[in-house]
Structure 1
Amino acid sequence: MTQLQSAEITGIVTEAGRLATELYVFPEIGARIAARLDEAHAQGRYRQAEDARTLGRLVTEDLQSVNGDRHLRLKFHPEPIPAEQEDGALLAELTRSADLSLGGVPRIERLAGGVALLKLAPILFPLDMAGEALNAALTLVARAEALILDLRECVGGHPYTTAHIGGHLFDEPTHLSSLYDRETDAEQQFWTPAMAPGPRFGGSKPLYVLISKATFSGGEALAYDLQQRGRAVVVGEASGGGANPRRGFTLHPHLEATIPTARSINPVSGANWEGTGVIPDTATDPARAHETAHRAALAEVARRGGDTPSASAEEARRILHGATEDGPAGADARL
């Protein structure tokens, strides 16, 4: 990789500070961040950055030093990134990632007792990239007696995709979230759609959401919105704490400045999960969250007196209290 020249470093740091000042969702903090970058540059902090990776790390530390916003970054990309459009690096990365992750639906399983598990990762891709895969997965789990939504490795996503998923998990249009945008000084609301392509899982059957400290941004949004509406029980550990959506700007062929220009507002809490993370209803080791949620789902199905062939109340009781013909409670089968 080509060594960075002094003038290059100055230009990159200056532009990162300008973007923070003009676009960061909290103007006063943006100005403080820019001042921090100027001070660090004047003190020679960035002279040690002989390559783009090192500069990205140092500037990211300073961008996040004022208020800990993990969406604020000077992100290093090993492959050259597009310079001609805003968020060009993100779009290129999303396209590759969507192709490699089966549209963000890497796992679907039918667990014992008529419970389905749907894993969404690494992010909730824009619908024009992964809508078909997502719709197919949601249609497949719609018949389950209970659903476990695994977001433990979901690190981002698009608000329209969150609302689209919600359309399968509620019976009526529901206001999930709003975004306040600094540039427009306005809020945009996101509602679940009135119609869903294919059958819905619906708004009444048991729903559990798994999270971990790795869950971030759009993954957190889905968990938080479902939790605040009382639609899901969240299981695992507190998530990463990133609620300020970002825009991306190419400052170098391998460096992208990501600047949060908006903030999430939940219509129920009036707040969001920035800094604190989504707090689980049932705290447990995320490695065991799957098992914890499965047992809770079985108990709830039994309590409701499930009478379908796939998940009768008697079957659920047998699984809860020991092995069945299908094996222990954790046993599963591929759909």
Structure 2
Amino acid sequence: MPTNAETVALALDRITAGYVFPERAAEIDRAIRKRLAAGEYDALDGPALCGAVTAHLLEVCPDQHLALRWDDEPQPVLPEDPDKGQAAFLARMRTFNQGVRGFQHLDGNVGYLDVRRIADAAEGARVIGAAMELVAGTSALVLDLRECLGGSPEGCNTWCSYFFPDDQTHLKDIYDRESDTTRQYWTLAHLPAPRYLDRPVYVLTSARTFSGGEDFAYTLQAHRRALVVGETTRGGAHPTGSYQLDAHISVRVPSARGVVIATGTNWEGVGVAPDIAVPAEQALEVAHRDALARTAQPAAPEQ
């Protein structure tokens, strides 16, 4: 087993090589190595080490994706993880039903989808399509992202495409430091279920909503395709890779930065602010009530 100092040094090497803002990576490296030299981490056990280093990383650079993570179950340590944790992510999504937790048909013909993760576009497309088939005939839709803690930018693009009429909407761009390239994300031309157009859409958020969940909420809100109801989200916008440092500790390194075209920015550090601010536990009731008011049919005229 490597020493704490060796593990932290490996983490700093990863951050320096891959963090999306190189100048901030240099600041992080200086600050944490100063603590290393002072022996601050020497006596900590694994979970405490991860907690302390993560707190110190955030003091220098308040990027909510930047962290050391402890796993009780030993993980394989490879010389190089070529897919930056993608295989592990796909495996988790399979156990999470590609992120779709549940469907309800609420009173007043209002659809409800509970989405806990944003799946990979390829593996998750059929489940996302099946969910959208279930709500295809509803008069309004509530997307519950209050417990959505992240996922795939490509999967978010798939979800968002259902709420636009064609493939002509430029949703966002993502710059990747490693390849020094920018990828454009446009709505998709072909989807496995009907698009959800010309009807009210509500997105429920909480202070726990994070990363891919925030991407989904912010993108629909910025393009005026949904009302966000609930609480301001956590504020983590940078796509991230995960690297195993030893059998129990990995480091998460944000390596890319997204810009939503409708605003020219993203939600990093500030979160997604709701259009209708209410405590998270009241968000569904408030959204449902608003949906009923917006979709109420006028009374039939008297004969």
- TM-score per shorter chain, which class? over 0.9
Does the alignment pair 1:210 with 2:204?
yes
- Matching residue of 2:135: 141
- Matching residue of 1:232: 226
Secondary structure of 1:48's partner? coil
Does the alignment pair 1:32 with 2:32?
no
**Cα distance, 1:91 vs structure 2:** 3.3
TM-score w.r.t. the length of structure 2 is 0.93
- Matching residue of 1:81: 75
- Matching residue of 2:91: 95
Going from structure 1 to structure 2, the CA distance change for 1:45 and 1:94 (only over 3 Å counts) comes to farther
TM-score w.r.t. the length of structure 1 is 0.84
Structure 2 unpaired stretches of 5+: none
Going from structure 1 to structure 2, the CA distance change for 1:87 and 1:37 (only over 3 Å counts) comes to farther
- Matching residue of 2:100: 105
Aligned amino acid, residue 98 of structure 1: R
Going from structure 1 to structure 2, the CA distance change for 1:73 and 1:239 (only over 3 Å counts) comes to same
Secondary structure of 1:197's partner? coil
- Matching residue of 2:273: 279
Whole-angstrom CA distance in 2 between matches of 1:161 and 1:238: 22
Which of 80, 99, 112 lines up with 1:117 in the alignment? 112
Secondary structure of 1:188's partner? strand
**Cα distance, 1:82 vs structure 2:** 3.2
Answer whether contact 2:125 2:158 (CA < 8 A) is retained: no
Which string of whole-angstrom CA distances, capped at 9 and with x for unpartnered residues, describes residues 25-57 of structure 1? 1111111111111011111110121x3222211
- Matching residue of 1:310: none
Aligned amino acid, residue 208 of structure 1: Y
Which of 6, 12, 21 lines up with 1:17 in the alignment? 12
**Cα distance, 1:93 vs structure 2:** 5.4
Answer whether contact 1:64 1:72 (CA < 8 A) is retained: yes
- Matched ranges for 1:288-303 at <5 A: 288-302=282-296
Aligned amino acid, residue 252 of structure 2: T
Paired-residue identity, %: 39
Going from structure 1 to structure 2, the CA distance change for 1:215 and 1:43 (only over 3 Å counts) comes to same
Which of 159, 162, 173 lines up with 1:165 in the alignment? 159
The structure with the largest alpha-carbon Rg is 1
Whole-angstrom CA distance in 2 between matches of 1:253 and 1:224: 36
Answer whether contact 1:236 1:284 (CA < 8 A) is retained: yes
- Matched ranges for 1:181-200 at <5 A: 181-200=176-195
Structure 1 unpaired stretches of 5+: 306-312, 316-335
Whole-angstrom CA distance in 1 between matches of 2:284 and 2:129: 23
Aligned amino acid, residue 92 of structure 1: A
Whole-angstrom CA distance in 1 between matches of 2:192 and 2:122: 15
**Cα distance, 1:199 vs structure 2:** 1.8
